Amino acid sequence: MVVRTRVNGEWREAEVWPGASLLAFLREQLGLFGSKNACEQGECGSCSVWLDGALVCSCLVLAAQANDREVRTVEGLTDAGRLHPVQEAFVEAGAVQCGFCTPGFVVAVADLLEKDASPSPATVREALSGNICRCTGYAKILDAVNLAAARLLERT
Amino acid sequence: MKAERPEAVPLAGGTDLMVELNFGRLRPPAIIDLTRAAELATHRQEDGHVFLGAGVTYAAIVNELPGFKPLVQASRSVGSPQIRHRGTVGGNLGTASPAGDALPVLAAYDAEVVLRSQARGERSMPWHAFLMGPKKTAIAPDELIVGARWARIRGPGSFSKIGTRNAMVIAVAGLSLVIDEDHRRVNVALGSVGPTIIRATPAEEQISSAMASSGAWQDPSTAVSEQVIDEFAELVASAARPLDDVRGTAAYRRHGCRVLARRSLAWALSERRLPTWL
């Protein structure tokens, strides 16, 4: 079947297997490899994207469910080649080790800071509870969230 | 569509079905995308009744139904933000896992499940008739779940569960306790500790009548004795029908029910003294 979705502001369409996930559509049909494929069961958050503005695991969305809908991926966060403040904060805080979970975390953090510009530590933990990192032990990721929040507040 | 293609599998948030698809365990001949049916994602209150559409997500419940504390607590404990944005109450009902977090709450509310088919129209049945066993429901092949409906209950209540983390946890034991001030009843439903959701009827009767004889129904400041609370917790624990599995032993689950029962009752009794639910 043909799925047509607005991805990062641009209408894209491709032929997919009807049982394919949105994640498979993004990676295999559209060549957007930022969203990672790991657990395929919604446990790890490495495939996090926005579907009509809501943070979701793209592995749990049927590609066909995204037809005629709006998807924003980690690739959509950069602005004319410039990293998003959340991405910069991850680099500066050393919140990246193997990097596999990073795009999912970046998307989840960006989503959080769009909703809550200065989240409490408990809010940050709850907001990131669906993203798993097996390298960092999370401390540097939490540092990155604080750094990104401070930077974004400075801008406004 | 379901009438024409009864073999088609309904899909909403995908938090169960997509896993089966991704792992190649299911290859349905057809899939019906329920997220296109806007009516399913609605909820309304009328004549003292609440209707909760099958497509209402857990995130929507948390944001839009703050007056239903046990339901909000259960919804907030589901998965992660990503999962709560997609997962629906209809999914909990359709999957009929005894670990579905919304199910003990619907059971404590005495909810009925609303089903619809083209051939026979709408019908509803009590939650216990619908949930027949683990992953087994009374739905007909040509039917879809429209939602759940219950009579609004005045009184405090909660949902709590035991698991290894504060998020992304399939409950080892879950409990919803709802106090019905108007009917002077305490409803207690258990999840994850039996083949399906269990109401702890002997415990409900014990606490309701103990509160009647002590005058606690009329006067919320009347203390409920430790002995009565112990008996209640014991009766709740003995209502469980748990199994040993990868998430916990039967003995641990039964003990979990005992602990959750004591805590939920204490919360509800102290809330009665400060009626924030008014």
Q: State yes or no: pLDDT of A104 exceeds 60.
A: yes
CA end-to-end span of chain B, whole Å?
A: 43
CATH at residue B262: 3.30.390.50
Question: Tens of pLDDT along B16-56?
Answer: 999 999 999 999 999 999 999 999 999 999 999 999 999 99
**β-pair type (B112-117, B121-126):** antiparallel
Number of domains in chain A: 2
A41 closest CB neighbour out of B22, B27, B86 = B22
Find chain A residues with C-beta within 8 A of B168's C-beta.
43, 129-130
Read off the pLDDT of each residue in B70-80 and give the average, rounded to a whole number.
Answer: 97
Nearest CA to B188 among B170, B210, B203?
A: B203
A59–B35 CB contact, under 8 Å: no
Share of chain B above pLDDT 70, in %: 99
CB contact under 8 A, B168 and A129: yes
Q: How far apart are CA B229 and CA B266, in angstroms?
A: 8
- Give the pair of three-digit tokens for residue B54: 């099958």
Interface of B with A in 147-166 (CB under 8 A): 165-166
What is the predicted pLDDT for the residue at B274? Answer: 82
The residue of B80, B83, B166 whose CB has the most chain A CBs within 10 angstroms, and thus the best one to mutate to test that interface, is B80
Find the mean pLDDT for residues B269-275: 87
Question: What pLDDT, on the 0 to 100 scale, is given for residue B277?
Answer: 56
Residues B79, A130: C-beta atoms closer than 8 Å: yes
**Of the candidates B90, B125, B151, which is a domain's last residue?**
B151
Judge if A11 and A71 occupy the same domain: yes
pLDDT of residue B1: 87
Residue B23 lies in a domain: no
Q: How far A49 CA lies from chain B's nearest CA (Å)?
A: 9
| Full residue range of the structural domain in which residue B188 is found | 157-273
Task: Write the pLDDT tens digit of every residue in A130-151.
Answer: 999 999 999 999 999 999 999 9
State both tokens at A6: 């607005």
Q: For chain B, what is the domain count?
A: 2
Report how far residue B55's alpha carbon sits from residue B34's, in angstroms, rounded to the nearest whole number: 7
**Which of A62, A108, A129 is closest, CB to CB, to B14?**
A62
Q: What crossing angle do the helices spanning B226-239 and B250-273 adopt, rounded to 10°?
A: 140
| Contact check, Cβ <8 Å, A57/B83 | yes
In a domain, residue B60? The reply is: yes
pLDDT for res A93: 98
Examine the pLDDT at B195 and tell me if it is beyond 70.
yes
Q: Which domain CATH number covers B100?
A: 3.30.465.10
Residue that is last in its domain, among A28, A49, A76: A76
Whether residue B86 and residue A57 make contact (CB cut-off 8 A), yes or no, is yes
What is the distance between the alpha carbons of residues B16 and B26, in angstroms, rounded to a whole number?
A: 11
Å between B114 CA and nearest CA of chain A: 24
DSSP conformation letters of B16-54: THHHHHHTTS---S-EEEGGG-GGGG-EEEETTEEEEET
Asked if A131's CB is within 8 angstroms of B83's CB, the reply is no
CATH of the domain at A36: 3.10.20.30
DSSP state of B163: -
Name the burial class of residue B47, with classes exposed (0-12), middle (13-18) and buried (19+) by CB atoms within 10 angstroms of its CB. Answer: exposed
Residue B145 CA from chain centroid, whole number = 15
| pLDDT band of B278, cuts 50, 70, 90 | low
Checking if the pLDDT of B73 tops 90, the result is yes
Mean pLDDT of chain A: 97
pLDDT at residue B21, as a whole number: 96
Mean pLDDT for the stretch of residues B116-122: 96
Q: Considering Cα of B90, then B95, then B96, then B98, what sign does the dihedral take?
A: negative
Instruction: Calculate mean pLDDT across residues A14-43.
Output: 97
Is A68 found in the same domain as A110? no
Nearest Cα residue in chain A from B82: A56
CB contact under 8 Å between B31 and A18, yes or no, is yes
Contact A56 B85 (CB under 8 A): yes
Min Cα–Cα distance to chain B from A155, Å = 27
pLDDT band at residue A106 under the 50/70/90 scheme = very high
ipTM score assigned to the predicted complex: 0.96
Q: For residue range A30-65, what is the model confidence (pLDDT) as tens digits? A: 999 999 999 999 999 999 999 999 999 999 999 999
Residue A140: domain span: 85-155
Chain A residue nearest residue B35, CA to CA: A65
Predicted local confidence at residue B262, as pLDDT: 98
Specify the DSSP element, H or E, that contains A87: helix A85-93
Q: What pLDDT score does A64 carry?
A: 98
Is B249 near chain A, with CB under 8 Å?
no
Encoded tokens for B33: 């995308």
Q: What mean pLDDT comes out for the span B243-250?
A: 92
Q: What percent of chain A has pLDDT over 90?
A: 97
pLDDT at residue number A141: 98
What distance in Å separates the CA atoms of residue B273 and residue B268, rounded to the nearest whole number? 9
Say whether both B129 and B163 belong to one domain: no
A131–B23 CB contact, under 8 Å: no
Q: Does A114 share its domain with A91?
A: yes
